[in-house]
Chains A and B, each alone.
Chain A
């Protein structure tokens, strides 16, 4: 791995961790700690609860216009590349804020998979499951984390802050509806979280109480697997309804909202921060409109112009709050875009190579893994398969990707058994 000698090394990570724990144990009550680390967060660090933040750039982010620029080549396009906080590593000029935190990121420039389907949905599934979709369906990352990492607290384990028009989906496959993503379509609260208009505020508890009593008789001397699952979902619903403000970014200060930007994606990132702070295990934020078959450069200018700042801001906020040590951050897209620039300035789908970015949770950061050739038409060094990344996403949060799900007697490997994690990325 092409590692920067000054940043992101093991030593650096260790010292950072010990600094945190010193602060927690030794300096409790000191103003600095109170400002930097919320007590509830401190508790989480102690418990080492792992969280995951996924950014999905939907449509197919161009590697040229982001993490693998090839300026002044036949494929490079009009944008310049800029130096990053890692010496020798350059990003496209469309990502100035992300470039400043490059030393906290690991960039993989050599992602690939075989027989990637042409459809966005199929390719997205491939990237998130490590399995060709024609063998599926397999559960996406969020549902897997919900099943394996979440401790079934008050909040749902897996929330997807999605663009509007993105409804609930059965993305948990054989893990079942319990683990499907709770979708916040357009950053709005979950469907049906508001009580029916006819119910007055103080009367809603009555029906839940009655429901519980109705269940008491039934639950006697019956197997508890079904009834307990059902009852606990109602408890969870009742609590969530009371905590609706969690989904309301207007509760954040004006200053915070300004920092994240006044557009949807900025609000969605701030919403993601609220939910991670509240302890949600896996939060995914999807940013749309990267499918630039025409006007690739204008599209990326606009989309990355929106993406770059809130992404870096959220990343830095997690770091400042001490949450990054236990939060895996993943930036994915379904495939890359063609080196060839089409006559109408578009780039088409390109599965032979693209880029993925990781950070946090002990990921070996501050470097680039893998490389493409001079004009980005093929992988030149260390190809990384999507299945290897799936294993890596699991292992980074302490899960064993070689374990199996037991689904009603069917044993299904968590990660594709023919691959393993990317050791270079793990500490």
Chain B
């Protein structure tokens, strides 16, 4: 590992959260084991993916009679790619350096630096936590443990098929893979929840309606698909170990019976099936099914595990839906909309906007052994990703369909992106730590107790931080079970940004934060420049400098108050709230 990425890692480590030390060691180890400059080039002989992307997107413009927006500016690019790959806007210093860098390949270099940063792994861990757990409350595995596992996986660029395989097979007994069992355990191993979420999240098909009958509107979603998938998980149950830990056990199940509510007397059976593919399971002599027979005190372990079969087959080439779904989800993460939209509605009646491109993306994932880092890199390097969110003059932006990708689709900042970015742009990490300390000190006796124990104090602090992030999630996030909500604005959200004492505290001068630094600058245009670079990652235009000057002149009696208002107006702008 290079010194630079190491220090970058430590910096972001301090900036984001005091993850318990034990995870630090894990992450460092993973980083050390990862070649930092991964071979990111396209497979020899093939057209680079980013070229294919642009070919397919451009060809389809005729279909909507649209023409493409210009390439986004460097300022737009650094903000967008930083949010998409590391979950936070760039700091002013980085932005300034990037904007003044004359080299032609600076976007490529920036992309590679971000993809190899610790913040990338941390951001992907949050994204995949939300994607896979849908903001469910913790049950048996804590979010901290789970995110550390995901973070280690993304830092090591673990192939995505391997990651998903681990998540499906982990039984929670082996401590190193225990966090991976969260997918099953924290859904309380509830069969119907699991079937629905495996279908929606991993295969891109929402089979809920097929639980009781063939889907009424979608010919392709069949009753047998739902129940075929359920066979894999029907035998899995929780088991409480003597040490108090809840883990998974598996009873032998080979098939399930089901009957449509429309024909309740016509019972059918199915073995394990992944949509149309019925799996064959080796025959076992009766009485010989188990390695460990189930009993009250013994965790059942079958000789042939259907969950293991699921973990192997779901991510294999026998289930092309997996590659299509993952390609579509990663695309949507970067481009703000899936090629198949909604993401969990893959079926012939809802074809992709660019069918050949989806094929190409899925093929890329399979051929590169699910190399997520290389995949995201290719997307970022495409013209499609680097398009401006602004239409050319004279074109009504509302006439350009989102699915054409002719203009960049804007995304709302996720609650976590918003929280981290707000802290970063206001330069208020120090103040935030003081706020946390003050909250802890409100209860003198408890604080005294905490101070006596270093570990407890660290835990108290990280709990407070988590509470604050939770406040952002409650206000700005999509609810449980629907993690991919579209952008919305609400009254409580803006009241929070406008008036919440803690958040407004970050905007007010103090502890050397942005506002305090700006208020001591003598040159008004310097105030404007630094404020825009810090908050909006760009230089102000002449009108904006003028506006700043005028406002500062009006507020000359109380420069700090005038600067506070200016900084707040940038933070409260749509330009800050959106990833554009």
Partners in one complex: yes
Q: Which of B342, B395, B476, B569 contacts A207 (CB 8 A)?
A: B569
Q: 1/0 contact trace for B188-200 toward A, CB 8 Å?
A: 0000110000000
Tell whether, in the assembled complex, residue B492 and residue A180 are in contact, meaning their CB atoms are under 8 Å apart: yes
Tell whether, in the assembled complex, residue B578 and residue A237 are in contact, meaning their CB atoms are under 8 Å apart: no
B485 part of interface (Cβ distance < 8 Å)? yes
Q: Which of A176, A237, A409 contacts B494 (CB 8 A)?
A: A237
B297 part of interface (Cβ distance < 8 Å)? no
Tell whether, in the assembled complex, residue A211 and residue B397 are in contact, meaning their CB atoms are under 8 Å apart: no
A166 part of interface (Cβ distance < 8 Å)? no
Q: Which of B475, B501, B574 contacts A226 (CB 8 A)?
A: B574
Tell whether, in the assembled complex, residue A136 and residue B481 are in contact, meaning their CB atoms are under 8 Å apart: yes
B549 part of interface (Cβ distance < 8 Å)? no
Tell whether, in the assembled complex, residue A227 and residue B547 are in contact, meaning their CB atoms are under 8 Å apart: no
A201 part of interface (Cβ distance < 8 Å)? no
Given contacts A137-B479, A170-B474, A221-B397, contact A198 B508 (CB under 8 A): yes
Give, as a whole number of angstroms, the nearest-CB distance from A12 to chain B.
Answer: 40
Tell whether, in the assembled complex, residue A192 and residue B492 are in contact, meaning their CB atoms are under 8 Å apart: yes
A180–B495 Cα distance when bound, in Å, is 14
A224–B496 Cα distance when bound, in Å, is 23
Give, as a whole number of angstroms, the nearest-CB distance from B472 to chain A.
Answer: 12
A225–B412 Cα distance when bound, in Å, is 12
Closest to A134 in B: B192
Give, as a whole number of angstroms, the nearest-CB distance from A197 to chain B.
Answer: 8
Q: Which of B395, B491, B499, B569 contacts A211 (CB 8 A)?
A: B569
Closest to A135 in B: B208
Q: Which of B342, B389, B410, B543 contacts A410 (CB 8 A)?
A: B342
B41 part of interface (Cβ distance < 8 Å)? no
Give, as a whole number of angstroms, the nearest-CB distance from A217 to chain B.
Answer: 7
How many pairs of A and B residues are in contact by the CB < 8 Å rule?
A: 181
B103 part of interface (Cβ distance < 8 Å)? no
Give, as a whole number of angstroms, the nearest-CB distance from B51 to chain A.
Answer: 27
Give, as a whole number of angstroms, the nearest-CB distance from A28 to chain B.
Answer: 36
B407 part of interface (Cβ distance < 8 Å)? yes
B446 part of interface (Cβ distance < 8 Å)? no
B34 part of interface (Cβ distance < 8 Å)? no
Given contacts A172-B479, A196-B501, contact A229 B390 (CB under 8 A): no
A168–B501 Cα distance when bound, in Å, is 17
Tell whether, in the assembled complex, residue A226 and residue B412 are in contact, meaning their CB atoms are under 8 Å apart: yes
A-chain residues with CB within 8 Å of residue B574 when the two chains form the complex: 215, 218-219, 226-227, 230-231
Q: Which of A134, A174, A177, A192 contacts B476 (CB 8 A)?
A: A177
- A-binding segment of B111-119, B362-370, B560-568: B560-568
B541 part of interface (Cβ distance < 8 Å)? yes
A226–B544 Cα distance when bound, in Å, is 22
A residues 89-104 with Cβ under 8 Å of B?
none
Tell whether, in the assembled complex, residue A176 and residue B397 are in contact, meaning their CB atoms are under 8 Å apart: no
Known contacts A198-B564, A233-B494; 16 additional CB pairs below 8 A are A137-B479, A168-B475, A172-B479, A176-B485, A180-B492, A191-B496, A207-B569, A217-B541, A218-B580, A221-B393, A224-B397, A225-B398, A231-B574, A233-B489, A237-B491, A409-B350
**Which 10 A-B pairs have CB atoms at the shortest separation, nearest pair first?**
A210-B569, A170-B479, A233-B489, A192-B495, A218-B575, A192-B499, A177-B490, A176-B488, A214-B573, A211-B569
* Interface residues in chain B, defined as those with a beta carbon under 8 Å from any beta carbon in chain A: 192-193, 208, 341-342, 345, 350, 389-393, 395, 397-398, 400, 407, 410, 412, 474-482, 485-496, 498-501, 504-505, 508, 541, 543-544, 547, 551, 561, 564-566, 568-570, 572-575, 577-578, 580
